[in-house]
A = this chain, B = another copy of it.
Amino acid sequence: MSSNDLPSVALAAFAGSPGANLPALRGHNAALVLGLLRTAGEDGVSRPELAAHTGLTPQAVSKITARLRAEGLAAEAGRRASTGGKPATALRLVPGARHAIGLHLDRDELTTVRTDLAGEAVAVRRAPLAFEAGAEQLLATAAREVAALRAESDGTPVLGVGAACPGPLDHATGVLHRVTGSPHWDGFPLRDALADRLGLPVVLDKDTNAAALGLARDLPPGAGSFGYLHLGTGLGAGLVLGGGLYRGPRTGAGEFGHQTIQWDGPRCGCGRCGCIEALCLAAVARDDLPGAARALGVGAANLVELLDIDRVLLGGRTVLAHPAPFLDGVTEALADRARTRGGSTARAAIPVVLARGGPRTVADGAAELVLAPLFGAVPAPRTT
């Protein structure tokens, strides 16, 4: 297998063309099992547990795990205590079997990570970047950083590169749209340009989407919903609904910053009035972090109300600089909502936590753009 092939067991799954045949079925089940192995982590999962979780027969699980072991993606991990019979053998993912690269193309900095199959970063690089300086400089910087990351690698196959940058852009075609502040990028096919330059498959997505996808790997495959709110120079969101990242038809979902929460409020740069982003950034500018958090909290409550999500994650430079007031303010807004909407089936307040990864949340998530298709090709939001 050449270094940029995906593992054959997990190819295709049921994505892409909707008609399913035997290889697709095989890939689907292999991805499902790989996803469970990944979620289990170091401790591993036993074959009977895999059978129970997937609904497959034990014999099928044995065959599938045998193939995964033959490809080097899974390995035995000791024995479980007996439950009255032959003790089960635990199986675990072999994280180092493949690597992925994540690129966070921010306005002033390029963060590059190489991660293992578990999504853990094994190498990180940072370089200054002038996003508005044009394509050639960006491609050259990216090529240099990725080459450096690959040089450190001891021959582990790299599956591909995930690239995350500020939106708007089209994930499906890999083309940038009118990036705020850098209009000349409009229409540039960044995904294909990067793929040509790097000689690796590339997946492009918005920074907020990449971050949310990366954070979704803490969830059991195919379940769980959360919103990731990213407050930096702007305000955006990544939505994970029913275990899957929701991008919307044009990769336009998650424009959280321009939700109107004060109809008659101050005018925002977008032309409308009372956007969360305008209220939030104005409060930040006058050092009123609790005020910014309150605005964020109103938006978060709207999000929870509309999408029935399980938790809210916060990230982005502004939040990371002073996490406490934001966590407190948003938590309070959601607790308030839980109280007022209580009724007899009292709703628990939605937890608000800081997103894992700190300044590397987006870069880690970018790598996850490459890794996610290998694991648990479970459909997102339930369709009936």
Grouping DSSP codes into helix (H, G, I), strand (E, B) and loop, the A interface class, with mixed when no group exceeds half, is: loop
B contact residues around A160 at 8 Å (CB)? none
Which chain B residue has the least Cβ–Cβ distance from A369? B384
5 examples of A-B residue contacts, CB within 8 angstroms = A20-B20, A178-B345, A241-B246, A249-B308, A250-B308
Distance between A261 CB and nearest chain B CB, rounded to angstroms: 5
B contact residues around A373 at 8 Å (CB)? 384
B contact residues around A243 at 8 Å (CB)? 383
B contact residues around A265 at 8 Å (CB)? 263
Cβ contacts A242-270/B at 8 Å (1 or 0 each): 11111111111111101111111100001
Extra inter-chain contacts (13) besides given A19-B56, A203-B384, A262-B274, CB under 8 Å: A14-B14, A18-B54, A19-B60, A21-B25, A187-B345, A225-B249, A242-B246, A253-B308, A259-B302, A270-B340, A272-B301, A303-B306, A372-B384
Cβ–Cβ contact A306 & B264, under 8 A: no
8 Å CB contact of A381 from B25, B242, B295: B242
- Is A309 engaged at the interface, CB distance under 8 Å to the other chain? yes
Give the distance in Å from the alpha carbon of A183 to the alpha carbon of B21 in the complex: 50
8 Å CB contact of A382 from B177, B309, B380: B380
Tell me how many residues of A have a C-beta within 8 Å of chain B.
91
Cβ–Cβ contact B305 & A245, under 8 A: no
- Is A29 engaged at the interface, CB distance under 8 Å to the other chain? yes
- Is A117 engaged at the interface, CB distance under 8 Å to the other chain? no
Distance between A28 CB and nearest chain B CB, rounded to angstroms: 5
Give the distance in Å from the alpha carbon of A378 to the alpha carbon of B384 in the complex: 10
Cβ–Cβ contact A247 & B382, under 8 A: yes
Give the distance in Å from the alpha carbon of A329 to the alpha carbon of B295 in the complex: 27
Which chain B residue has the least Cβ–Cβ distance from A16? B55
Cβ contacts A49-81/B at 8 Å (1 or 0 each): 000001110001000000000000000000000
Give the distance in Å from the alpha carbon of A25 to the alpha carbon of B28 in the complex: 11
8 Å CB contact of A310 from B54, B249, B380: B249
8 Å CB contact of A372 from B22, B223, B241, B383: B383
- Is A32 engaged at the interface, CB distance under 8 Å to the other chain? yes
8 Å CB contact of A380 from B20, B183, B274, B379: B379
Q: Known: A177-B345, A381-B246. Is A339-B271 also a contact (CB below 8 A)?
A: yes
Give the distance in Å from the alpha carbon of A379 to the alpha carbon of B241 in the complex: 12
B contact residues around A256 at 8 Å (CB)? 306
Distance between A351 CB and nearest chain B CB, rounded to angstroms: 14
Q: Known: A19-B55, A241-B246, A265-B263. Is A345-B186 also a contact (CB below 8 A)?
A: yes
Distance between A226 CB and nearest chain B CB, rounded to angstroms: 10
Give the distance in Å from the alpha carbon of A13 to the alpha carbon of B260 in the complex: 41
- 6 A-B pairs closest in CB distance: A248-B308, A379-B379, A271-B340, A17-B55, A244-B383, A252-B308
- Is A307 engaged at the interface, CB distance under 8 Å to the other chain? yes
Cβ–Cβ contact B309 & A248, under 8 A: yes
B contact residues around A343 at 8 Å (CB)? 177-178, 183, 186
Distance between A265 CB and nearest chain B CB, rounded to angstroms: 7
Distance between A342 CB and nearest chain B CB, rounded to angstroms: 9
B contact residues around A381 at 8 Å (CB)? 241-242, 244-247, 380-381
Distance between A340 CB and nearest chain B CB, rounded to angstroms: 3
- Is A197 engaged at the interface, CB distance under 8 Å to the other chain? no
Give the distance in Å from the alpha carbon of A232 to the alpha carbon of B237 in the complex: 31
